[in-house]
Chains A and B, each alone.
Chain A
């Protein structure tokens, strides 16, 4: 049972380069999220999706784009990387089904450590 898998785990980019982070989940979850985690800042929501073909902006969406062409995959793109995007990126997923509160658990991937130089 893989859960939430993020690819790659580490990456170093030069300023201005582009890249795509892949998140895959095998739990048939409706909701998927991309967060970034910086020291002292906790987890900040970048973009999220409530279903295949839908995306929405979170707290810090600037400089990022996302796509959810398949239910199990959520892609995060950086078109022109900047040093301010150096961070650890976490993908998460959870079910959208209401079980009276039992659905609130979000499952996280192991993170992608991105450095932009």
Chain B
């Protein structure tokens, strides 16, 4: 069983829709939860990170962590065509922990 599971999609929604992306994990030691965005033929870039449980909001993006369920989510409000990309969740056991484990990524397409 993989430590981090993510639905690969693809997911296609109309412009302006709310998008929900999710990951589940099995390692209870994970404390830092990240979302990376990767455009086609580019390297991933950090979008958001959260520590432990709770919500974090940054503009149109909200990250949620539910450690009791080992489940994390990324919500995108008022989605734009420029949000079309692959979104990867990532986790590590601590801020100085060396390994970062990634999910398989969800390919998202926003239709104009």
A interface list, Cβ under 8 A from B: 4, 31, 33, 35, 40-45, 48, 50, 56, 58, 90, 92, 94, 96-106, 108-111
Contact = CB atoms under 8 A, between A and B. Distances in A.
Contact of A31 (B42, B98, B105): B98
Contacts, number: 67
B4 to A, nearest CB: 8
Interface residues of B, number: 25
A109 B96 contact: no
B68 to A, nearest CB: 20
Given A96-B96, A101-B51, A45 B32 contact: no
Contacts of B99: 45, 48, 58
A65 B14 CA distance: 45
Contacts of B25: none
Contacts of B101: 45
Nearest to B32: A104
Given A42-B104, A96-B96, A90 B88 contact: no
Contact of B32 (A96, A101, A110): A101
Nearest to B4: A42
Contacts of B41: 111
Interface in B62-112: 88, 90, 92, 95-96, 98-105
B46 A105 contact: yes
Contacts of B34: 104-105
B69 to A, nearest CB: 21
